[in-house]
């Protein structure tokens, strides 16, 4: 079962307080999931109510960090693209505001999927004390091209932040 019960204080943040950074240094990791995809090595890292993805390529590292950071102003772009050598990283982000029953349905579905994925685990769900609907989910969605998705829920605001990312060779 890939459900991590995170023993950190619940932070009352919203999508509007998040910052995306492709150049953030490694941050303290609460849990992680690593995957190989050909010459690439993905490390999806659970950072409390946020995430950091680091991809080791033959040409260097690609990173994305989505986090609440007190020392940086909020910045949550809908799209981002970067190139490292012969590799392109694409990131997309959506923010939805949902009624409580719909948000709870999505949280329950993610938790259920994490419990069912035992043979080839590709989904890590971090649950936070203080609110049963507060979670961060990290999921490897493909290896050719390497792709992943994250879901962050902020139940006090009824928000779901979903990111989709991929790294592929530049053609």
| Per-position pLDDT tens, the chain of length 171 | 477 777 666 566 889 999 999 988 888 898 999 999 999 999 999 987 789 999 999 999 999 999 987 777 789 999 999 999 999 999 999 999 999 999 999 999 998 888 876 655 799 998 887 788 999 999 999 999 999 999 999 999 999 999 999 999 998
> Would you say 146 and 26 are in contact if contact means Cβ atoms under 8 Å apart?
no
On whether residue 117 sits in a domain, the answer given is: yes
- Spatial distance between the Cα atoms of 165 and 55, rounded to a whole number of angstroms: 11
In a domain, 5, yes or no: no
CA distance 7 to 160: 21
Q: Which range marks the domain in which residue 150 is found?
A: 14-169
Total domains present in the chain = 1
Task: Extract the tokens encoding 74.
Answer: 């909020």
To the question of pTM greater than 0.75 for the whole model, the response is yes
Q: Give the number of other Cβ atoms within 10 Å of residue 50's Cβ.
A: 23
């Amino acid at each position: 079962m890939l459900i991590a019960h995170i023993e950190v204080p619940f932070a009352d943040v919203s999508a509007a307080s998040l910052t995306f950074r492709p150049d953030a240094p490694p941050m303290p990791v609460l849990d992680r999931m690593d995957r190989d995809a050909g010459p690439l090595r993905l490390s999806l890292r659970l950072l409390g109510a946020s995430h950091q993805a680091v991809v080791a390529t033959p040409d260097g590292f690609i990173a994305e960090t989505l986090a609440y950071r007190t020392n940086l102003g909020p910045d949550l772009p809908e799209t981002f693209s970067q190139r490292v050598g012969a590799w392109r990283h694409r990131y997309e982000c959506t923010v939805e505001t949902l009624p409580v029953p719909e948000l709870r349905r999505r949280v329950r579905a993610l938790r259920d999927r994490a419990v069912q994925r035992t043979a080839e685990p590709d989904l890590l769900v971090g649950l936070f004390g203080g609110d049963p609907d507060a979670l961060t989910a990290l999921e490897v969605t493909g290896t050719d091209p390497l792709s992943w998705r994250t879901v962050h829920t902020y139940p006090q605001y009824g928000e779901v932040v979903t990111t989709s990312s991929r790294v592929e060779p530049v053609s």
